């Protein structure tokens, strides 16, 4: 992996005044250093030699770009894609806008997550040691699932064949955490699915829906978080959890 696409266009409405003036990814989770959700992700990428970053911006893009310029411009090569439909369309459109930057050395990240760096280290290691190139979604297969989770189901070969919030919790392997690595035919088919859904004006979908359309025809495998800390931030409760996790991630040996 050499490149990362980060989707950061959304409004973060469920967080109310916390995201009134900033993108959700700029929520501070470590008050002492003022590190944000995005900073934790960029640190994990940089530590793994991924220095080319494409960020799809939308709401409060100037604030995000100023933060990057101040904190990361000397460490990373950053390019921006502006999603001018951020208030109208779902994140399938952000992923579609970035399709021209996506090659076999690219990883996709949601911007509203915090995760222990060991999770990303494990992805890098498994890719390096694959005897045959494979594609992966990072899955938390240790937590108790709830209806809101983006769940996945696997077949007898441990290939992911469905991804959807509507899947039965008891029949699902775990929750997709927002990190995707696709290469080869899997990448090509996914980008084709994005393009088809945009052409068909399925703009209320998530990029996971575009992936779900083709999973029956491709081979994508789950990579477990192995119980390592992570969370997605959608609500104020999630934000409080993320701040507690940031403390633990900072102190847990890597």
The DSSP annotation for 58-69 comes to: BTBHHHHHHHHH
Q: Give the domains, in start order, of the chain with CATH numbers.
A: 3-251 (3.90.550.10)
Cα separation, 189 vs 38, whole angstroms: 28
Nearest to 241 by CA among 249, 251, 233, 250: 233
Helices (H) and strands (E) in the chain, counts: 7, 13
The pLDDT value given to residue 250: 72
- Spell out the per-residue pLDDT of the chain, length 254, in tens: 999 999 999 999 999 999 999 999 999 999 999 999 999 999 999 999 999 999 999 999 999 999 999 999 999 999 999 999 999 999 999 999 999 999 999 999 999 999 999 999 999 999 999 999 999 999 999 999 999 999 999 999 999 999 999 999 999 999 999 999 999 999 999 999 999 999 999 999 999 999 999 999 999 999 999 999 999 999 999 999 999 999 998 754 43
User: pTM higher than 0.85 for the full model?
Assistant: yes
Q: How many residues does the chain have?
A: 254
Return the structure tokens found at 229. Answer: 């800390």
Query: What phi and psi, each to the nearest 5 degrees, are found at residue 160?
Result: -75, 125
Q: Angle 37-47/236-251 helices, nearest 10 degrees?
A: 40
The pLDDT value given to residue 253: 42
The pLDDT value given to residue 252: 47
The pLDDT value given to residue 251: 57
β-sheet bridge partners, residue 152: 163, 174
The pLDDT value given to residue 254: 38
Asked if residues 55 and 82 have their Cβ atoms less than 8 Å apart, the reply is: no
């Amino acid at each position: 992996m050499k490149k990362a696409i980060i989707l950061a266009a959304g409004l973060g409405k469920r967080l109310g005044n916390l995201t009134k003036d900033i993108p959700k990814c700029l929520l501070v989770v470590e008050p002492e250093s003022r590190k944000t959700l995005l900073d934790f992700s960029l640190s994990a990428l940089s530590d793994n030699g991924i220095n080319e970053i494409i960020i799809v911006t939308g709401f409060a893009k100037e604030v995000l770009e100023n933060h990057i310029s101040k904190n990361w411009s000397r460490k990373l090569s950053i390019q921006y894609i502006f999603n001018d439909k951020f208030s109208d369309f779902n994140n399938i459109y952000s992923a579609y806008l970035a399709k021209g930057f996506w090659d076999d050395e690219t990883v996709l990240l949601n911007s509203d997550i915090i995760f222990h760096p060991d999770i990303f280290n494990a992805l890098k290691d498994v890719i390096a040691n694959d005897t045959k190139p494979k594609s992966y979604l990072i899955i938390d297969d240790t937590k108790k699932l709830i209806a809101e989770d983006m769940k996945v189901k696997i077949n007898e070969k441990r290939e992911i064949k469905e991804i959807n919030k509507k899947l039965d919790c008891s029949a699902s392997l775990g929750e997709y955490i927002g990190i995707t690595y696709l290469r080869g035919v899997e990448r090509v088919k996914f980008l084709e699915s994005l393009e088809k859904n945009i052409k068909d004006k399925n703009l209320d979908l998530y990029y996971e829906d575009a992936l779900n359309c083709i999973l029956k025809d491709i081979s994508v495998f789950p990579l477990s978080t192995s119980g390592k800390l992570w969370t997605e931030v959608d609500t104020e409760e999630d934000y409080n959890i993320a701040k507690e996790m940031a403390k633990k991630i900072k102190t847990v040996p890597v």
